[in-house]
Amino acid sequence: MDIYENLKNLKINLPTPVSSVANYLPYTIHQNTIYISGQLPIKNGDVLHQGQVGQNISIDEAIEAAQICCINIIAQLNEATDKDLNKVKRCLKLGIFVACTSDFTDQPKVGNGASDLIVNIFGDIGKHSRFSVGCTSLPLNACVEIDAIFAI
């Protein structure tokens, strides 16, 4: 399976990776593991869907935000693998943070937007563990932030 062919079939164009907004690296590599720092739903330089799910953000908008976060994760991963995503052996874990109201409990549905996209891109090696939790706010007022761990 060629990951770039899957991206093409899904009509996904990888953006230029987003720079860190504070004192951290966008990814680190240790042995055969790549740790991708939290990615926001940034597209064309703008944070999309700002606010809280359950207040001014719908679940569909949050799912779209999670998918954009995943595309940004893949862009960082592409850099980390020297532009060879076919080096990836497995997506090990996703960490999904959803900025939401205290009564919103569908964080797993938002997380599925990310998980489904990773599996669609990577096939069986995209199947991963994850958590999907709610919080009151995220950087730059994003409604979703996702970090990831991959084996190479």
0.85 cut: is pTM over it?
Answer: yes
Q: What string of H, E and C letters represents the secondary structure of the chain?
A: CCHHHHHHHCCCCCCCCCCCCCCCCCEEEECCEEEEEEECCEECCEECCECCECCCECHHHHHHHHHHHHHHHHHHHHHHCCCCHHHCCEEEEEEEEEEECCCCCCHHHHHHHHHHHHHHHHHHHHCCEEEEEEECCCHHHECEEEEEEEEC
pLDDT of residue 38: 98
Q: Are strands 42-43 and 33-39 parallel, antiparallel or unpaired?
A: unpaired
pLDDT of residue 19: 86
pLDDT of residue 72: 98
Residue with tokens 């935000």: 65
pLDDT of residue 5: 97
CA neighbor of 96 nearest in space, from 60, 49, 148: 148
Architecture field, domain 36-151: 2-Layer Sandwich (3.30)
Report mean pLDDT in 10-residue bins for the chain, 152 residues.
95 94 94 98 96 98 98 98 98 99 98 98 98 97 99 98
pLDDT of residue 22: 87
pLDDT of residue 93: 99
How far are the Cα atoms of 45, 106, 112 from residue 53, in angstroms, in the given order? 22, 9, 15
